[in-house]
Amino acid sequence: MGQHKKGINTICTHVGELEDKEYKGAVSPLYMSTSYAFEDVDVKRYPRYFNTPNQVALSKKIAALEHAEAAMIFGSGMAAVSTALMAFLQAGDHIVLQPTLYGGTYNLVNEEFDKYGIGYSFADGLNVTDFEAKIQENTKVIYIETPSNPLLTITDLEAVATLAKKHGIVSMIDNTFASPVNQNPIDFGIDVIIHSATKYMGGHSDILAGAVASTEEYMERIFQLAKNFGGSLSDYTVWLLERSIKTMGIRVKAQNKNAIRLATYLHEHSDIHKVYYPGLPSHPDHALAKSQMKGFGGMMSFELEVGLDASRFQKALKLIKSSMSLAGVESTVLSPTQTSHALLSPEEREKQGIKDGLIRFSVGIEEPEDLIADIEQALKIVRSEAVLSTLN
């Protein structure tokens, strides 16, 4: 009989927890020390070395969640992205990235890489041939994000991993939108997994953090750079993040369930022009999503029918708030054109298929009937305004 593998909610709740040996408390004690004795100990502990008791404990939990050998926690998702990338790239190297990326990652590459002498190419599409076409002799990293922001496109994990291995390249993924509950890219051969833990891991819109998971060997390489870059997270926030992750499994599963319900409702609604959600059979990559995801996640985008004002609609929502971030227990919407993708030129947005009226929807854990009622009342308002404007 093989070793029993723990299920997701057990990993979320227990793996890595610190034992309170002195008082037998139920939760991990919090060690806020920035200074630890160095005599008669074998580990030199210091928060910027990513090795305080709480950091080590949470890293174990995140590694287990991503089926990885090791993990590290960072001060933000972008600290995780930048440190992971720079650990594998130096002057003269080249990276291939997928065309639709989180805005901050796009800016990092676009605004910073030239001055470090790192070359970069964006694939023309998401097929493995699009990535292969951009690989050069000096390509060291291939970087993907699936599902992507804001159109929820799906990239083939196994195909990209196989391509990377064939060329001796490191494959990296930003797994934030899926969360470790819905997708474990290591199982498909991807090398380095990155998260903005600000999103589903934190889940309550009150923690800024990032995480990276990979093999011991690759994490050692990332650590060597990370200790110099200094992007570690405060132990208090590490402790809060551990607490948040305890409920990540049940939160994300509830969000998956609500999102399917809401996507179906929007898809069938006569006021909605289009819904982008990988869980809908009408999504062009539904079959691929199904083959590599355990759930389709809580993120979707949609467009209203022609003539209905998207920004008025967002303002008319009462329960669902317009908000910059995503993945909290509360449902939120935003306009990518005005926020996350505002820095892209209209042509670049057009090329990526991001329409001006697109609404990104982060589905929370509220009762789905209440979310639907809120959308109904907001649609009623924009419908009546549209009628009035045609009469005038």
Ligand X SMILES: *Cc1c(COP(=O)(O)O)cnc(C)c1O
User: Which residues of this protein are in contact with ligand X, per CB under 6 A?
Assistant: 76-78, 81, 102, 104, 145, 149, 174, 176-177, 196, 198-199, 208, 210
In terms of CB distance, is 149 or 256 closer to ligand X?
A: 149
In terms of CB distance, is 59 or 196 closer to ligand X?
A: 196
Nearest residue to ligand X, by Cβ distance, number only: 77
CA distances, 289 to each of 5, 158, 283, 294 (Å) = 24, 12, 9, 9
Alpha-carbon span 53 to 270, nearest angstrom: 55
> Shortest distance, CB of residue 336 to ligand X, whole angstroms?
12
Q: Looking at the annotation, which residues are catalytic?
A: 48, 102, 174, 199
> Shortest distance, CB of residue 197 to ligand X, whole angstroms?
7
In terms of CB distance, is 164 or 209 closer to ligand X?
A: 209
Q: Are strands 139-145 and 192-196 parallel, antiparallel or unpaired?
A: unpaired
In terms of CB distance, is 8 or 81 closer to ligand X?
A: 81
Residue 346: cis peptide before it, omega within 30 degrees of 0 = no
In terms of CB distance, is 149 or 337 closer to ligand X?
A: 149
> Shortest distance, CB of residue 97 to ligand X, whole angstroms?
13
From edge to edge, which strands make up the β-sheet containing 332-334? 272-276, 299-304, 359-362, 332-334, 321-322
Closest listed residue to residue 199, CA positions, set 99, 80, 51: 80
> Shortest distance, CB of residue 30 to ligand X, whole angstroms?
22
Query: How many Cβ atoms sit within 10 Å of the Cβ of residue 321?
Result: 14
**What dihedral angle (degrees, nearest 10) is formed by the CA atoms of 337, 341, 343, 344?**
-90
> Shortest distance, CB of residue 178 to ligand X, whole angstroms?
10
Element (H, E) at 248: helix 248-268
Torsion over CA: 71, 185, 143, 103 (sign): negative
In terms of CB distance, is 219 or 334 closer to ligand X?
A: 334
From edge to edge, which strands make up the β-sheet containing 170-174? 70-74, 210-214, 192-196, 170-174, 139-145, 94-97, 119-122
Q: Are 259 and 363 in contact (CB under 8 A)?
A: yes
DSSP 6: P
Alpha-carbon span 74 to 83, nearest angstrom: 9
Q: Reduce the DSSP state of residue 70 to 3 states and report it.
A: strand
Closest listed residue to residue 224, CA positions, set 84, 321, 107: 84
Our measurement of the distance from residue 31's CA atom to the centroid of its chain's CA atoms, rounded to an integer in Å, reads: 28
CA distances, 152 to each of 18, 64, 260, 320, 363 (Å) = 37, 26, 14, 20, 14
> Shortest distance, CB of residue 205 to ligand X, whole angstroms?
11
Residue 281: cis peptide before it, omega within 30 degrees of 0 = no
> Shortest distance, CB of residue 277 to ligand X, whole angstroms?
16
- Cα atoms found within 13 Å of the Cα of residue 327, Cβ hemisphere only: 25
In terms of CB distance, is 176 or 386 closer to ligand X?
A: 176
In terms of CB distance, is 31 or 177 closer to ligand X?
A: 177
